[in-house]
Structure 1
Amino acid sequence: MTETYVRERSSEGRKDLRYPAAPEPLAVPVYDNHAHLEIVDGVEPLALAEQLDRAADVGVAGVVQASGDIESSRWAVEAAASDPRVLAAVAIHPNDAPVYAQAGRLAEALDVIDELAAHPRTRAIGETGLDYFRTREEGRPAQHESFEAHIALAKKHGIAMQIHDRDAHDDVLAVLDRVGAPERTVFHCFSGDEQMARIAADAGYYLSFAGNVTFKNAQNLRDALAVTPLERILVETDAPFLTPVPLRGRPNAPYLVPITVRFLAAELGIDVDELSARLAANTLAVYGSFD
């Protein structure tokens, strides 16, 4: 059922579309807390079960499947219901909110998200937030309306929230401060700097680091990582995007999480097993058990 709705990632500008070889397995299992497994990528696309099997083989015990529209949200819930290694996050992406609003369907879409959020395998509202990079000024009121509605849904259902924040750091923090953040709030693919990391951690938010922390031009992310308390760090792929160095440009998948985990451990100067145990505990604290 979950294979009936898929999207394709553009291959434009990418030279090698083969999935990379699996990295060395982690001794202590972790979780990928944000991926988009409904997006087909690579010359040999991987079905959901194969994605999860490959992940399990290298010590990635589960995946939180994130969403961005009605269709992908339904897919996420179906995936989570069909495999105990998946939990669902449902939402209207901030760049899709103006599209729904222009069509007069934003309220309807939010009602669908509300229904899907009630499913026992749905453990987060996400991804929601603000994106000033892709959405112009005229679309921002719809983004704000949608963001605040999603915050309310996370509180209503008592589940976590995954934030998409692109070029909108101050406004995202301001909205959370004004309306009150859900108890468990995650900055998916954290994109801020050291100062923002301190603010977010002090507020009790979680910072999720993806493969882009390994990029040469991402010193701001490494600076942010250095000041983030271990109990506030999560790891993700954002698959099929943001494949870590040295595989940048290749298709990304949850089984590549160990590369990012080992990079984070090296940056923090701690043992990989110690970090893995902390990442797993943090993930379960945010989303609950996968069982």
Structure 2
Amino acid sequence: MRSQKERREPPPIPEPVGRLIDAHTHLDACGAVDADDVRVILDRAGQAGVAAVVTIADDLDAARWAAQAADWDPRVYAAVALHPTRADALTDAAKAELEQLAGRDRVVAVGETGLDLYWPGRLQGCAEPAQQREAFAWHIDLAKRTGKPLMIHNRDADAEVLDVLRAEGAPETVIFHCFSSGPEMARTCVDAGWILSLSGTVSFRNARELREAAPLIPGGQMLVETDAPFLTPHPYRGAPNESYCLPYTVRALAELVGRPAEDLADESSATANRVYGWESCRS
């Protein structure tokens, strides 16, 4: 049996599978504090063929940091929002600041927002479902007003997320980050024209429903992400995750759907370019 220390060793840098974009990561949670830290992480990602990342906010401090980090390095873009578990912090002042941050050119999405019905009752201080729903509706409106994609966090809340999107009217572009639902939800999202972003969970053998759903996602509606530092793909599950690990997920996905990893890399990068307005926000 491997020791706890061995299980937590960072994975080795994999061989590239082509040009990749990490559609959802948390550079601050990966330990980045300043521009030098960000550069080191992106240089390491570049060795694995990851050309750019979108760093995601889950609270107001993280939103400020993400927007700033996107100005530090041309390979970094940002998304800003309050995570659903922190929806009770969406005060008028927080709304005003998020609106200002979301208007920046290198902030390419509103997220992550949505509904999380797993943590209420388990996590002290977690926003209640009613608060989450209200905040989700506000973020939907912000995405519409800014014309930027809405990035959804959905945990144990398929029906409820769909209900809010129907009630409020979905923005033009909707991204389900770390899509982890089954075939029925995948078909609903695909039929609606929404984007499904797959993380390291697609490599987990016990993620049966997700692994049944993944082959149903057309190339033009698929992104790939790390959600780093979380969800490190097999066989390094439990080790620290980082953007450079993305080729492990793409190779696992390629094996699952029976397609070349290089094709998936090309398709997902083209989708990211289109969804995030990549060329238009390059500096």
Taking structure 2 as the reference length, what is the TM-score of the superposition? 0.91
Cα drift, residue 244 of structure 1: 0.2
Gaps of 5+ in 2: none
Q: Which residue of 1 is the match for residue 112 of structure 2?
A: 127
Instruction: Give % identity.
Output: 44
1:212 aligns with 2:201: yes
Gaps of 5+ in 1: 1-12
Which residue among 16, 26, 36 is the counterpart of 1:25? 16
Partner SS for 1:19: coil
1:168-201 deviation per Cα after TM superposition (whole angstroms, max 9, x unaligned):
1101011111211111110000021000000001
Distance in 2, Cα, partners of 1:140 & 1:223: 29
Q: Which residue of 2 is the match for residue 229 of structure 1?
A: 218
Q: Which residue of 1 is the match for residue 236 of structure 2?
A: 247
Instruction: Specify the code of the residue in structure 2 equivalent to 1:280.
Output: S
Distance in 1, Cα, partners of 2:183 & 2:171: 23
* Aligned positions, number: 270
Structure 2 counterparts to residues 37-56 of structure 1, below 5 A = 37-40=27-30, 47-56=37-46
Instruction: Specify the code of the residue in structure 2 equivalent to 1:56.
Output: G
Which residue among 88, 95, 112 is the counterpart of 2:97? 112
Q: Which residue of 2 is the match for residue 10 of structure 1?
A: none
Q: Which residue of 2 is the match for residue 70 of structure 1?
A: 60
Cα drift, residue 270 of structure 1: 1.3
Contact 2:113 2:136 (C-alpha < 8 Å) held by counterparts = yes
1:147 aligns with 2:147: no
Distance in 2, Cα, partners of 1:110 & 1:223: 38
Instruction: Specify the code of the residue in structure 2 equivalent to 1:238.
Output: D
Distance in 1, Cα, partners of 2:161 & 2:152: 9
1:133-183 deviation per Cα after TM superposition (whole angstroms, max 9, x unaligned):
112497111111100000000110111111000011101011111211111
Q: CA RMSD in A?
A: 1.8
Distance in 2, Cα, partners of 1:111 & 1:131: 24
Q: Which residue of 1 is the match for residue 163 of structure 2?
A: 174
Q: Which residue of 1 is the match for residue 256 of structure 2?
A: 267
Which residue among 281, 284, 289 is the counterpart of 2:273? 284
Contact 2:57 2:81 (C-alpha < 8 Å) held by counterparts = yes
Cα drift, residue 261 of structure 1: 0.7
